Chains A and B, each alone.
Chain A
Amino acid sequence: MSQSATAEHVPTAAREQMKIPGLGPWAWARSNLFGNWWSTAITLALGYLILRAVFGLVEWGLFNAIWSVPYSATGVPDTGVCQEAKGIGACWAVIADKYRLILFGRYPYDEQWRPAIVVLLFIGLYAVSAMRRFWRKDLILIWIGVLTVIGVLMYGGVFGLPLVTEDFWGGLPLTLILATFGLAFAFPLAVLVALGRRSTGLPAVKMLCVLYVELIRGVPLIAFLFMASVMFPLFMPEGVNVNKLLRAQIAFILFSAAYLAEVVRGGLQSLPKGQGEAADALGLNYWQKTGFIILPQALRLVIPPLVNTFIGSFKDTSLVLIIGLFDLLTMGKVALSDPPWQSFSTEVYIFLALIYIAFCFAMSKYSRSLERDLNRSRLR
C-alpha cells in the first residue's frame, strides 16, 4: 500500500499475479481441513467417526428412546419395554420416574418446593456474585442474607414451615450447600492462612500455616472425610453429637481452605513489592495496609484460578458419597438401587453428568471471559 509513495513505481508482474487466498467456506475448508494429505486423512477419519457417533447417539437417545412406561395398580413400573429396547434405545422413563428423588433426595415429598426454591436461590446468588457491578462490600451482606434464608427454608421449624432435619436433606440442594457453605467459610480462612504464610515477622505462625497447607494438600479428601465420620466423634466431649452433614462440611471447609490459600498466596506474591512499601510510607498499619492496599489488588489478580478451584470443590462434593451422605451422585445411585431400574445406569449417569456440566461449564466459561476482561488493561 505504501509502495505508491514513489510516483514512478510500477508494480512488478509477480505481485500482480500473486493469488490472494480467497474467503468463503471452501477456502476455509481448504486451509483448515484439507491443508495437506495428512490433515485430509485426519479430517476424513475423524469425520467418519464423529458422524457415526452422533447418529448413533441421536438414534439411541431420541428416536429409539422410551419416554414412559406403564405402571401396575400398586405403582410398580413395568420396565419390560425398556428391557427389550436395551442397547437400541435409551430408557428416559427412569428419569421421569425418579427425577424428584435424584434432585431432592428424601426430603418430604409435599415440602419439596422448599429445596427447589433453595436451588434457585443458589443459582441467583452465583449470578449476582458473577456480575462485576455487585463487586462491593454489600456483596458480603447479600451472601449472609441469602445463606440465612436458605438455612431457614431447608430446616424449617419457623413461619409455619414444618421442621425437616438434615437427615432428610439430599440431592442437588445438598451438593450446593456443601459447595457454597464450604467456600463461604473456607475463603476467609484461606486468606488468613495465606497472609500467615507470607508473614515475615511471625516465624512461628508462618510455620503453623505451612504445616497446615502442606499436610492437607498431601492427603486425599477421602482421608479427611473418613476422619470426619469415624474420628471426629472421638474428638468431642462425651454427650456431644455433631451430625454427619456438619462434620463433612467442616472437613470440606478445612480441605478447600488449604487449596484456596495457595491460590491467594500466588496473588500476594505476584503483587509488586512497591505497593506494600508505599502503604508503609503512608503510615498505614498492617491491617489497613492489607485490607485497603494488598488484598483488593492481589485477589483481583487470582480470580480466574479461584474460580477454577471453586469448580474443583464443586466436583469434590461428590466424594461425600463414600461416607454415606445423600448428595446428587449418591441419590443417582439410590435411584438405581430400585430393582426395576437397576440396569439403566447409563441414563441416570447421563442425567447427573448434564447437571454437573451445566454448573461447571458455566463457571469455567465465566472464568475465561473474566480472565480476558481483567487482562484487557494489561494487553493494550
Chain B
Amino acid sequence: MSQATADPRMVRARAAPKRRMRVSWSDPVFRSIVWQVVIVGLVAAIVWYLVGNTNANLAARHIATGFGFLDRVAGIPIGESLIPYDPSVNTYGRALLIGVLNTLQVAVIGIILATILGTLIGIGRLSKNWLLSKLTAFYVETLRDLPVLLQLFFWYTLLQGLPGPKQALHVGSVAFLSNRGLKLPLLEWQAAHTAAVLAFIVGIIGTVLWNRRARRQQEATGIRPRVWPVALALLIGLPVVVWALLGAPFHVELPALRGFNIQGGLTLSPEYFALLLGLVTYTASYIAEIVRSGIQAIPQGQWEAAGALGLSNGLALRQIILPQALRVIVPPMTSQYLNLTKNSSLAVAIGFQDIVSIANTTLNQTGQAIEGIAVIMAVYLTISLSISLFMNWYNARIALVER
C-alpha cells in the first residue's frame, strides 16, 4: 500500500511548473485524491447505513422525531433551580434550561474553588517544610488514584450520615450542616446592593485605567506612581460610599430551626454540596500538579537575575516568575477546567439535577432518545468550546512575543 508522499513540499516543488495531473497510481496528487475519496466515501457509507437503520427503527416504533416535545408540559419535579419553575405548568424546554443553569453553576463555582485550592496545594508541595510537602503530596497521590464517581459517593454518604436538623453541626447561629444540607446566611438583596456591585465594576475599570496611566508615566519618567491607594479607593471605597449613600441597607436572613427543619437562609442541598466538594477536591489534585510543575519549570537563574536587578522577592514573583510560569500552566489548566465541567455530569449518579440528569428524565418520559442526547451534546460542546476559546485568548495574551 503506497501512500501519497507525505511531505507536501516535495509535491509542490515538483508540481511547480504547470503540469496536468496524470491519471496514474504513480502520481502523488492522483493517489491522494483517490485515498480521500475512498476514506470519506467509507465514512459516509457507514453514516448513511446508520441513519437508514435509525429511520426504519423509528418508523417501526412510531416515534416522531423533532424538538416539538420542548413545548410540552414537563411534569419533572426539580429540587434546585435558579429560575422559577413549576412542574405542572412549565415545559420541557424550561426544565432543560434549568439543567443547563445548574451545570453552569456547578462548573463556574467549582472552577473558581478548585483553582484556589489547587494553587494552595501546589505551592504547599514546593514548601521547604517537609511535613507540609509530604502531606500535600499524599493528598495529590490519593485523590488522583481514585475514580471521581467513588469520591462523589463517598462525600454523598458522608453528608447523608450527618445528624438531622435538630442536632445539626453549627457555627453559632450562622451556618448549619445537617443531613438536609448546608445552610448559610443570605443577604436580603436590595437595589443598593446592585448599585454597589455596579460601582465595584466601575472601580475595576478605573483601576485598570489608572494602572495603564502609571505604566505610561513609568516608561516616560522612570518613576512609577503608587497604584494601590487608588486601587483600594476605587475597588472598596467606591462601592462602600455608593452603598452608604443609598441608606446602607443590610439585612441578613439567618437560618434557624423551625419545627423539623432549618428554615431561611441560603441552602446548599446535600447533592449539590457533595458534587461541589467531590469535583473541587478531585480537580484540585490535578491543578496542584500543574501549578507545581509550572513553577518548577522556571529556572532558578530567573530568581537570581531578578535579585541582581534589585527586585524584591514579591516583585520578582509578580513580574518575572509568574508571567513565565503562567505560560506553562495555562494550557493544561484549560483541559482541567474542561474536565471539571464534563465531570459535573456525574451529578446524575447522586441525584443532583444537572443537564444530563434532566435530559435523561426527559428522554425516558418522551422516548425522544436522539433529541435528548443531541441536547446533552450540544450543551457540553458549547460550554467546552466557550472555555477553550476564552482560555486560548488568555493564553495568546500572556504568550511570549517572539520574532
Contacts and interface: CB of A to CB of B under 8 A. Distances in A.
Whether both chains belong to one complex is answered with yes
Interface of A: 31-33, 35, 39, 42-43, 46-47, 50, 199-205, 208, 215, 217-223, 226-227, 230-231, 233-238, 276-277, 280, 285-287, 289, 311, 315-319, 321-322, 329, 333, 345-346, 349, 352-353, 356-357, 360-361, 364
A276 B370 contact: no
B297 to A, nearest CB: 15
B373 A235 contact: no
Nearest to B58: A234
Contact of B369 (A32, A222, A231, A319): A231
A346 B149 CA distance: 14
B128 A35 contact: yes
Given A199-B6, A204-B36, A286-B4, A364 B154 contact: no
B379 to A, nearest CB: 9
A356 B149 CA distance: 12
B149 A234 contact: no
Contact of B131 (A33, A238, A287): A33
Contact of B10 (A42, A238, A280): A280
B53 A237 contact: yes
Contact of A238 (B1, B57, B373): B57
Interface in B302-324: none
The 4 closest A-B pairs by CB, nearest first: A286-B3, A360-B145, A220-B342, A218-B384
Contacts of B40: 204-205, 208
Contacts of B370: 231, 234
Interface string B317-358: 000000000000000000000100011011011000000100
B300 interface: no
Contacts of A287: 1-3
B130 A33 contact: yes
A204 to B, nearest CB: 4
B339 to A, nearest CB: 9
Given A204-B40, A223-B356, A285-B2, A356 B32 contact: no
B8 interface: yes
B400 interface: no
Given A234-B370, A315-B145, A364-B144, 15 more contacts: A32-B128, A32-B130, A201-B6, A201-B8, A205-B39, A208-B40, A218-B384, A220-B356, A230-B369, A233-B57, A235-B50, A235-B54, A286-B5, A322-B349, A356-B147
Nearest to A308: B144
A59 B322 CA distance: 45
B69 to A, nearest CB: 15
Nearest to B38: A205
A322 B369 contact: no
A287 B7 CA distance: 13
A236 B53 contact: yes
30 contacts: A42-B127, A42-B129, A42-B131, A43-B131, A46-B131, A199-B6, A202-B4, A217-B384, A219-B384, A234-B369, A236-B53, A286-B4, A286-B5, A286-B6, A287-B2, A289-B6, A311-B145, A315-B147, A315-B148, A316-B147, A329-B147, A345-B157, A346-B157, A346-B158, A349-B154, A353-B146, A357-B146, A361-B141, A364-B141, A364-B145
Contact of B53 (A234, A285, A349): A234
Contacts of A231: 369-370, 373
B357 to A, nearest CB: 10
Nearest to B132: A42
B157 A201 contact: no
Contacts of B376: 219, 223, 226
A247 to B, nearest CB: 13
Contacts of B126: none
B149 A319 contact: yes
Contacts of A277: 7
A347 B158 CA distance: 12
A47 B131 contact: yes
Given A208-B43, A226-B376, A235-B54, A321 B36 contact: no
A201 B148 CA distance: 41
Query: Residue among A201, A221, A364 with the most chain B CB within 10 A?
Result: A201
Nearest to B348: A322
Contacts of B385: 218
Nearest to A207: B40
Interface in B34-73: 35-36, 39-40, 43, 50, 53-54, 56-58, 60
B381 interface: yes
Contacts of A221: 342
A42 B133 CA distance: 11
A329 B150 contact: yes
B174 interface: no
A78 B122 CA distance: 47
B146 A360 contact: yes
A221 B356 CA distance: 11
Given A43-B131, A200-B6, A201-B8, A318 B147 contact: yes
Given A32-B128, A202-B36, A204-B40, A219 B380 contact: yes
A223 B345 contact: yes
A201 B10 CA distance: 11
B36 A227 contact: no
B99 to A, nearest CB: 13
B47 to A, nearest CB: 10
Given A230-B369, A230-B373, A238-B57, A201 B380 contact: no
B360 interface: yes
A202 B32 contact: yes
Interface string B108-135: 0000000000000000000111111001
Contact of A33 (B53, B56, B129, B338): B129
B142 interface: yes
B150 A353 contact: yes
B363 interface: yes
Contact of A360 (B129, B144, B373): B144
B7 A280 contact: yes
Interface in B345-403: 345-346, 348-349, 356, 360, 363, 369-370, 372-373, 376-377, 380-381, 384-385
Nearest to B56: A238
A287 B31 CA distance: 14
A349 B54 contact: no
A238 B60 contact: yes
B28 to A, nearest CB: 7
